[in-house]
Amino acid sequence: MDNIYMSRGASKVVNTCAKIQAGEQVLIVTELSRLSIAQALAAEVYRVGAEPAICIMEPRKQDGEEPPKEIAAAMKASDAFLSVVGTSITHTHAVKDAIAAGSRGLVLTHFTEEMMIHGGIEGDFEQAKIVCTAMAKAMAGAEKVILTSSSGTHLEYSAKGRRGNSLYCMVEPGQFSTLPTVEANVSPLEGTANGIIVADGSIPYIGIGVLEEPVTLKVENGRIVDISGGRQAKMLADNLASKNDPNVYNIAEHGVGLNPKCHFCGFMLEDEGVFGTCHIGIGTSITLGGVVKAACHYDVIMKNGTIVADGKTLMEHGVPKV
């Protein structure tokens, strides 16, 4: 696809989301399969008077694997970085360290050329920021959170002492955000989550995508102890078992999708943003406020969630109340 068709999306990423200024050093981390998107972004970075650098790396073997040390160093030295990859590097020390050093980052994992033109990228991020920030603030530090859904989810956990994260596709120095999902999230305190998760939306990893039938996960003391359902549930269970890492079963995140323009399509950062959904992240939590580094970070998504935090209803059947 010619870059001209992606130019409007590239302009939104560079100007609205990353707020790139003239003279800044902007690193674009990508893979060969996403080079056309990286080039469209680089063209817009150059147009506004900043200096783009594109680093092409070999795709990581699995989500959450660190990028090469040279790229991690460049991320840390940049004024801003854009990650345009097929295999996620979001939940890595490289991202965490770059943000801590004062860079700002946007993560465009699994992005397609079509996603640069239509869907979540068309969202009103300034408007979404209002409810997203309020939701994250309400979830932060809650002693007891209860998540239920019409499909049978009932999960309880504590977020005591944990920060709330509001990802609304716009970043300042020292921040990162995913794109085009708009989400508020919190990392449950390790060992506190108990109950049942019933995903009926999507598991946008390892080829699972939009769910044909519900996937049920049983949680005890902060970890998944059983996964049941059909073909897609077996795909998830087999993949997690293959990691040979007990931390992949950690309940790492409770996220809330808040972008009205997102729709279920099987791509992670579009599916997670679907308005009124909730997702439970499993595995790595270090970039979200937790302390666990695992071999992966996957999200399981459910529709029509209800959230009650310390007795206050934050969302009811997919409708935010904050």
Each residue's pLDDT, cut to its tens digit, for the chain (322 residues) gives: 567 889 999 999 999 999 999 999 999 999 999 999 999 999 999 999 999 999 999 999 988 899 999 999 999 999 999 999 998 898 899 999 999 999 999 999 989 999 999 999 999 999 999 999 999 999 999 999 999 999 999 999 999 999 999 999 999 999 998 899 999 999 999 999 999 999 999 999 999 999 999 999 999 999 999 999 999 999 999 999 999 999 999 999 999 999 999 999 998 889 999 999 999 999 999 989 999 999 999 999 999 999 999 999 999 999 999 9
- Please state, in angstroms and as integers, the Cα–Cα distance from residue 300 to each residue in 170, 187, 281, 312, following that order: 24, 15, 7, 24
Report field, pTM of the whole predicted structure over 0.95: no
Peptide bond into 214 cis (omega under 30): no
Q: Which residues, in sequence order, are CB contacts of 46 under 8 Å at separation 6+?
A: 52
Q: Decide: 253 and 185 in contact? Cβ < 8 Å.
A: yes
Q: Which of 144, 149, 246, 257 is nearest to 193 (CA)?
A: 144
Q: Decide: 170 and 221 in contact? Cβ < 8 Å.
A: no
Q: Which of 163, 179, 178, 174 is nearest to 97 (CA)?
A: 174
